[in-house]
Amino acid sequence: MARSPLPPRHPQWGWAGLGLTLTLLLGLASLPPIAQSVPPGPTPYQPDPASITDLARQTTVRLLTTGASGSGVLIQRQGEIYTVLTSWHVLAFSDRHTLLTPDGRRYGLLRSPRQLGNTDLAIVQFASSIPYRIAPLKTDPIYIGETVYAAGFPMYQGQSLNPTFDQGIQGLRISPGIVSLLPTKALYQGYRLGYSNDIVVGMSGGPIFNNQGLLVGINGRRKHSDPGFGVYAFEDGSEPDPDLLERMLNASWGIPISTYFQFVPAMSRRGASQSWQFPPHPPTPSPSRGEGEPVKVPLPQREPVKVPLPQREPVEVPLPLWERDLG
């Protein structure tokens, strides 16, 4: 085997430099072979705003009341009965409600809205044979820093007081941000989800999705609300300290989806295919359905003081306790 030629002697190093060079070469030869480069691990999940936008457009509904509007989200379907989750304050002050689905069709509600306990959440239902998409629900905890998208229909155009009622579903707004506050105890009416997203009047009741397309909460309160009205007081009557209050003022506020789970059976958390039932009472006739097509809702014939119990299959979801108490 031919011997490798020695490197030329540097004029400034002399023989000392040659000895140093040989030492380095021998040291490198004694090192173990370099390991092959390890392939990179799984790429962290990157949010896809386009897919979240599609999800929001297909699952967010608009609720029109007398002189006002709000938003809601489709969370369940059973046969032709759809269930929508929204904010109670969107519906509480009016007895006239019209629901606009993602395709622009208008529906009347099957029954009066139902508030979930003392929270600012409400359930409404409508009937349709059209297959609308259902929002998947997040069942594990939310964490601070999680990317979220708030959706809903603004009631006014820009900074003006011109209403958007004639725009139907054309003005859907989707605002990105992150979860910024998760207090250890809830604020009044169940608010416990603070987030940096900007929401406006009319987006109340709309969905809050994470970057995996899971419903994590419901919009309810804008940033910088007047603290004098007690909106930042906790349910137990205590007040936040000044530092925490300042952070609260800079956050929008929603109700986490875990609060909804407190009022429905555990079965309804799976894929939103199950649906709990309202107590039996005459449905409110819908003024219209679909593209202006009248809806004929027959009123049940009942004795004045006798309320027949519904006949259910054994596999149907039982009523939540709060609904049983309503009678």
Q: CB within 8 A of 248, min separation 6: which ones?
A: 181, 194, 232, 240
User: Starting at the edge strand that comes first in sequence, how are the strands of the sheet with 98-100 ordered?
Assistant: 114-115, 121-127, 81-87, 68-78, 60-65, 98-100, 106-108, 289-290
Q: Cα separation of 276 and 271, whole Å?
A: 14
pTM of the full predicted structure? Answer: 0.70
DSSP-derived secondary structure letter, 32: P
The tens-digit pLDDT sequence of the chain (327 residues) is 555 555 555 445 454 454 544 454 445 445 444 334 444 444 444 556 789 999 999 999 999 999 999 999 999 999 999 999 999 999 999 889 999 999 999 999 999 999 999 999 999 999 999 999 999 999 999 999 999 999 999 999 988 899 999 999 999 999 999 999 999 999 999 999 999 999 999 999 999 999 999 999 999 999 998 888 888 999 999 999 999 999 999 999 999 999 999 998 754 554 443 444 444 433 433 333 333 333 343 444 444 444 344 444 433 334 343 333 333
Which helix (DSSP H) or strand (DSSP E) does residue 244 occupy? helix 242-249
SS3 content of the chain, % helix, strand, coil (to 5): 20, 25, 55
